[in-house]
Amino acid sequence: MKNLNKLAILISKPEHFEYFFKKVNDPDLFDWLDKETGAFDHIPGPVLSEDGKYIRFSPWWPAQYLIKMSNKIPDKVFLVLKRIKTDNYFVLDDSAQAILNMPTDFLLKNAKEIIHLFDNWLYTKYPKLIQERAANLFKEYIDLNSFDNALNLLNILSKLLVEKYKKPGFEMEIFYYNELIKNSIPKLIENVPEKLIKIIKIHLRRALEKEYKGKKSDLSELWRPSIESSSQNWGHDDPKEIFVQLIRDTMEALSKIYPSKASVILKRWLTDRFSIFQRITIHCTRICDSQIDLAKEIIMEKERLFSGKPGYHEFLLLLKNKFKEISEENKLEFLKWVEEGPKKDNFEGFEDYKKREQLRILIIISDIIKESAKTKKEFDYYLELLDKLNIEKLKPENLTFTHPHVSWVGPTSSLTKEEMMKMTPDEFVDWIKNNLQPPFEMMGPSPEGVARIFQEVVKEKHIEYANAADKFLDDKIWPAYLCAYIRGLEEAIKEGKFFDLEPVLRFIESPLKFHEEPEIKLRHDTFDIGQYSWFRGATYNFIEEVVKKDELSLIENFMERTRMLLMDSIERDEDPTEAEEKQYGPDAQNMDYVTYCINSNRGKALHALIQHALRFARMRSEEEKKDEKGKGPFPPGERMNLYKEFLSKRLIEEKSPSVQSSYGQFLPYVFYLDQEWVKQMKENDKLFPKTKEKNKVWEAHWQGYLFNNFYDRLYELLKEDYKKAVNNLVQVSDKKKSFHEDEGLVQHLMIAFWRKIEDIKEKEGTLNTFFKKASLELRSLAIRFLGDGVKENKLSKDSDEWARLKDLWKDRLKKAQDAELANFVTWLKYCPDNLDDIVELIIPIVPYLYMGYQEEDLLEYINEKIEINTKSSLLLLDELFKVKESFVNIHFRLDLIKEILTKAKKYKDIPEVSKHINQSVNRLGEMGYYDFKDLLIKE
């Protein structure tokens, strides 16, 4: 007793309480633990986290002991388990494990109570884990051939939650239920089919009653189009479907083992109010030879034919299989009914419908009619009827399904690529002019489908098709083909292919219905035949690609004509219209300015024009260009005289802010082409305008600009704009902005800091304002971006950059009190300082490390430094262990922790080192990691 009192003290700390129950294996302690310590009475329940977002479940360590004892003293353990009342699913899972660990004779003897317990546990608040255990117990009873107990458990597991959801669903995870069915049901079907059907039928019926309460039909053909397995069944894990399969298989088995019993049930089901049971019956009579009499009866029910009664699919299959089994007289009578057809109706197209349905039946049983016709001439008449109906092209697409599911696979082509490759351009043009005219069939071949393949063909046969460009100057050719033609050539250019540009240029220059779109009758035809607007966009992209390729030698005439074409298009193309931009553009929070720009025609044309100007500058003579060498990215001078006036004009006239974003996006290029023009435009409030009314234009220019790399000269030019952007920062993300915009701003500011243009010491400076105003996400991004700089630049300890970075680090430690600090961990691996020199900077960031990967970064750093700065490394490890959340997150890097401590152990003679190692090992023990015990250093 004295020893037990001592033990009570030893296990009074939670970590030792846990340790004890993981270790103890002595059944003699059971009574003491139960009665004296109350160990099995105190079960931790679920607890709502402080922020109210999560529910936490604590482990219950005595359960480990119960599991171990359950095969030694099952009676005592079971008494404890029966007392358990909790919603803590860890506890229930352990309890279930304890039951599964009990001797089989105990499981059998106490089955009723055990199943009752599971019934209670399965319907607690969080039953997820217990479901798997229940399934295991079910399998156990099956293996023990205790089928009644297995059925009782299945009955519980098959319960549906009818109140909670609109559609009845399993409380149990459908995956487990399916596994259960797959693995264990065959034995039940074989041994207790009748009882099994009874149970599952009840659950299916309950589900139907709930879902179709007060309705005439159970709509079974919608949720289970065919009783047999078929691709027509969606299989959306609907419990009803699973039950149907189960009943079907069991009934098929019952028909084989006890045909008369099965027959009684099936006959009853044939008139059941739920159609699914009628359909199962028809299905079974087809599959099971023992039910042939019932099958014949069903065939000869006249009202089933053409009546729209449920189970028509199953009935037609039954005809196919069993029609041969009925007498010749009955066959003739049945055929007469077919000839009579469905009851007359006045709806339009009734005659076609009648013939189609007659043909459907006759095709299904045609072989049997032919066979009968060999001996009886009366059948010839029906063969003739079949032929007659067949000629009329009325054949239904699917014989047994009247409304089969179909799925769409994208636009389709009636020509294959091989066929197109074999055609000459003339032949192809001829083909497209004479085939595939609207209206198009839904999901049928369309010009768009053909065009997608044609694009690949043009890419491959670019020379031939470039020379045949004039053939496409035809009003009868749908825009979808024209788009594909020009895109195919663009792709060829991208791949470095050459061809004669002149005919193509003539083609794109011609006034091909510039503003008139083809007339369409149906909305989806727009997609099928394309639009001229899309074609125009494709031509601008084509020109852009051509002028970007320096390998293509372009003559002045080409440059002049394309320049004129682009300028003309920018002035005339209506896309984007103001209304559409409002509806789909940045104001509608749909996409940002830059994205909308590259998806609009004027945007595409402006991009092409700026590339055009750059190409023109590159095409100057070497003599002209030689002065620029060695003068950096922005040598002084004018290089866009031909474009300047036009760009100035458009800068004022362009109404679309999205198109305006191009000026920002190409600012470095334009600054190279003519920096004086840029400065002048800025001064005149045209570029990055300051006036309030033009704020949208400023936003667009700014967003486009931030897609660029950082240039000192441009930073200088736009300093005030940077300030404005930083002041505009908000904590909540703005959908009008692209993520690149904020990311770009962060990167630019950090480069400015790195290059000493901005300083953290300037109290009201842009950098300090940024850290004050930016969201946690952006501030974190900034620190990580600088971390990339540390990595890439391999700074020396005495470098000016590192000194500045450390200043920033210290400054942020003073000012930031959130997870921004954790991002400094990305600096560690490549930081030039000795750990001992920066340990005081690292310690404050430890509590903020993001669970998992940032902690892992720190662990890796410690591992690198452990033999160099052993004491500081161990100090950091201590800090990490102090963060409670680390308990759960470091478990996947225990190997690393072991490596660190093993390395540290080499220095155990240093008292502080051995103290830290022991502290860490003991801390790990508290977390439940006992394997580290061997690393303890004995003093």
Partner 1 sequence: MSQSSSKATASSLEKSKDNKLLKFTPKELKLYEFLRTLDGSGKLARMLEGVVIVLLDKNNPVRFAQAANTIRCLTDSILDLKGQTKRPHKLLDTKTISVLEKQFSKILSIALGNISDPKERKETEESVVAKFRQLKNLLSYGTKTKKDQLLGLLYHKDGLRIIPKNLQDSAEKLAKIYHYFAEVLHEHREDEPDFINKWVYFQDFLIIVASGFFDIAKEIDQFLEDRTINNEKSK
Residues near partner 1 (CB under 8 A): 3, 6-20, 23-26, 28-29, 36-39, 41-42, 44, 47, 58-61, 884, 911-912, 915, 918-919, 921-923, 925-926, 930, 933, 936, 939
Closer residue to partner 1 in complex, CB, 220/886: 886
11-18 own/partner pairs: CB under 8 Å, 24+ apart: 15/925, 15/926, 15/927, 15/928, 17/61, 18/59, 18/61, 18/928
CA angle (414, 416, 421) in 5-degree steps = 130
Quickly tell me which residue has 């069903």 as its tokens: 298
Q: At its nearest, how many Å lie between partner 1 and the CB of residue 921? A: 7
* Number of other CB atoms surrounding residue 656 within 10 Å: 24
Q: At its nearest, how many Å lie between partner 1 and the CB of residue 28? A: 7
Q: At its nearest, how many Å lie between partner 1 and the CB of residue 6? A: 8
Task: Please count the helices (runs of H) and the strands (runs of E) in the chain.
Answer: 53, 4
Q: At its nearest, how many Å lie between partner 1 and the CB of residue 278? A: 57
Tell me the C-alpha to C-alpha distance, in Å, between residue 171 and each of 96, 121, 125, 579.
17, 12, 10, 51
Give the 3-state secondary structure of residue 639. Answer: coil
Which tokens go with 617? 């500058």
Closer residue to partner 1 in complex, CB, 18/545: 18
Which tokens go with 423? 């055609």
Q: At its nearest, how many Å lie between partner 1 and the CB of residue 287? A: 57
Closer residue to partner 1 in complex, CB, 37/768: 37
Please say whether the beta carbons of 139 and 188 come within 8 A: no
Closer residue to partner 1 in complex, CB, 533/914: 914
Which tokens go with 290? 């023992």
Closest among 380, 329, 390 to 358, alpha carbons compared: 390
Strand partners, 340: none
Closer residue to partner 1 in complex, CB, 29/778: 29
Closer residue to partner 1 in complex, CB, 28/683: 28
Strand partners, 55: 48
Closer residue to partner 1 in complex, CB, 13/810: 13
Q: At its nearest, how many Å lie between partner 1 and the CB of residue 58? A: 6
Please say whether the beta carbons of 662 and 704 come within 8 A: yes
Closest among 444, 458, 452, 437 to 518, alpha carbons compared: 437
Which tokens go with 643? 């474009």
Q: At its nearest, how many Å lie between partner 1 and the CB of residue 74? A: 20
Closer residue to partner 1 in complex, CB, 53/938: 938
Quickly tell me which residue has 């540390």 as its tokens: 790
Closer residue to partner 1 in complex, CB, 28/792: 28
Q: Residue 59 class from Cβ within 10 Å (0-12 exposed, 13-18 middle, 19+ buried)?
A: middle
Q: At its nearest, how many Å lie between partner 1 and the CB of residue 160? A: 35
Closer residue to partner 1 in complex, CB, 760/877: 877
Q: At its nearest, how many Å lie between partner 1 and the CB of residue 83? A: 13
Please say whether the beta carbons of 122 and 156 come within 8 A: yes
Q: At its nearest, how many Å lie between partner 1 and the CB of residue 76? A: 17
Closest among 745, 741, 681, 744 to 717, alpha carbons compared: 681
Closest among 241, 136, 245 to 189, alpha carbons compared: 245
Closer residue to partner 1 in complex, CB, 37/531: 37
Q: Please, what is the end-to-end C-alpha distance for the chain in angstroms?
A: 33
* Number of other CB atoms surrounding residue 260 within 10 Å: 8
Q: At its nearest, how many Å lie between partner 1 and the CB of residue 696? A: 48
Strands (E), 265-317: none
How far apart, in whole angstroms, are the C-alpha atoms of residue 262 and residue 284? 10
Is the Cα dihedral 766, 771, 775, 779 positive or negative?
positive
- Got the DSSP string for 31-80? HIIIIIS-TTT-----EE-TTSS-EE----THHHHHHHHTTTSHHHHHHH
Give the 3-state secondary structure of residue 772. Answer: helix
Closer residue to partner 1 in complex, CB, 830/929: 929
Q: At its nearest, how many Å lie between partner 1 and the CB of residue 30? A: 13
CA angle (763, 769, 770) in 5-degree steps = 135
Strand partners, 127: none
Please say whether the beta carbons of 854 and 825 come within 8 A: yes
Closer residue to partner 1 in complex, CB, 56/112: 56
Closer residue to partner 1 in complex, CB, 44/844: 44
Closer residue to partner 1 in complex, CB, 38/632: 38
How far apart, in whole angstroms, are the C-alpha atoms of residue 493 and residue 72? 80
Is the Cα dihedral 400, 402, 406, 412 positive or negative?
positive
Q: At its nearest, how many Å lie between partner 1 and the CB of residue 69? A: 14
Q: At its nearest, how many Å lie between partner 1 and the CB of residue 922? A: 4
Q: At its nearest, how many Å lie between partner 1 and the CB of residue 106? A: 23
